[in-house]
Amino acid sequence: MKPRVLITSNDIPSAGIDLLRTKCDVTIIQTTNPSQEDVLQVLPGHDAIFVTNHLNINSDFLNNAGTSLKVVSTMSAGYDHLDVPEIKRRGIKVGHTPMVLSDAVAEIAVLLALNAARRTHEGRLKLEQGQVMKNLQWLLGQELRGSTVGIVGLGNIGQAIVKRLKGFSVARFVYTGHSRKKAGDELGAHFVSLDDLLEQSDFVIVSVPLNNETRGLFDDDTFNKMKKNAVFVNISRGQIVKTNALIKALRNNIIFAAGLDVTDPEPLPPDHELLKISNAVVIPHLGSATVKTRNDMSFTAAQNILNGLEGKPLIYEL
């Protein structure tokens, strides 16, 4: 009998589904973001589950998942929606899809850095209000050229961001994290403390995973340490930033601007304060949203499942 795989969304790119169908019986839940309850109704009896970051897999979920589950595979790099220690404690393998999305997310970081620095959102608002250039001081922005760029978390995405920004004549790259990295040396980036990074950087780009150490890392205190001209970019997870502190920093010109692919809450309600601030460029978590990257993520998540079911190491195992 073929192993049974449950796919928890009806909009997963076919690359992964086609791969799974070569060796497994595949069931697809016919809604886009089903609730835990909807998933649990059909999950028992399946050997593997293919999820996205909309589904929380915690101890309660696993208590109701039945006894046949052997692999949990998320089509995302981030895994803050999974209780990884609990999944593994139950002998279930768990995988994710880093690396294949680093380039696409890095492109979004560059896009946000430039848009926030050059005030494109504010300019668009002025056009809509019928305002035209008033004087030569109108809508002046910041440049990457000659700047110091600080990367908080020099993982694969952080490294991909540095590689792209090198083409913009940045004067100095600094980064912070647990320790100095060989990749940092190779990129010519300097390892510094978080405080030094905040004090020195003209651009602060966040690319760390969300965990207990990083949740709420950016608060009043961190924003107050930044330069007045600093452009803050977040492409990782919204909860790394205390939203009220960011709003205060933007409104009171404690920092220059922000570019956000992720927010807390997410999605932002249409009347949310962040959407009313002209020096915040906000987009709806588009980091990995390209045709190629989503296909690659789907394929990798499927390959993780096949490997797990065949008793092989997953491509990217947690």
Q: Interface residues with ligand DGY (CB under 6 A)?
A: 53, 76-78, 101, 287-288
Q: Which residues are within 8 A (CB) of 286 and not within 5 positions of it... i.e. 6 or more apart?
A: 108, 261
Q: 81 near 56, Cβ under 8 Å? A: yes
Q: Which of 96, 190, 272, 285 is catalytic?
A: 285
Name the helix (H) or strand (E) containing 71. Answer: strand 71-74
Tokens representing residue 158 in the block? 């952080």
What number of other Cβ atoms are within 10 A of residue 111's Cβ? Answer: 18
Tokens representing residue 56 in the block? 């929380």
- Minimum CB–partner distance for residue 139 and ligand DGY (Å): 31
For ligand DGY, the closer of residues 148 and 159 by Cβ is 159
Cα–Cα dist 151/191, whole Å:
10
For ligand DGY, the closer of residues 53 and 229 by Cβ is 53
Sign of CA dihedral 74, 78, 83, 87: positive
- Minimum CB–partner distance for residue 105 and ligand DGY (Å): 7
For ligand DGY, the closer of residues 147 and 288 by Cβ is 288
- Minimum CB–partner distance for residue 288 and ligand DGY (Å): 4
For ligand DGY, the closer of residues 74 and 279 by Cβ is 74
- Minimum CB–partner distance for residue 298 and ligand DGY (Å): 12
Known catalytic residue at 285: yes
- Give Dmax (Cα) for the chain: 74
For 24-41, letters b (16+ CB in 10 Å) and e give bebeebeeeebebeebbe
For ligand DGY, the closer of residues 146 and 267 by Cβ is 267
- Minimum CB–partner distance for residue 202 and ligand DGY (Å): 25
Kindly give the pairing relationship between strand 93-95 and strand 71-74: parallel
Q: Which residues are within 8 A (CB) of 13 and not within 5 positions of it... i.e. 6 or more apart?
A: 294, 295, 297, 298
Residue written as token pair 């069931």: 27
For ligand DGY, the closer of residues 34 and 78 by Cβ is 78
- Minimum CB–partner distance for residue 200 and ligand DGY (Å): 28
Any idea which residues carry the catalytic annotation? 285
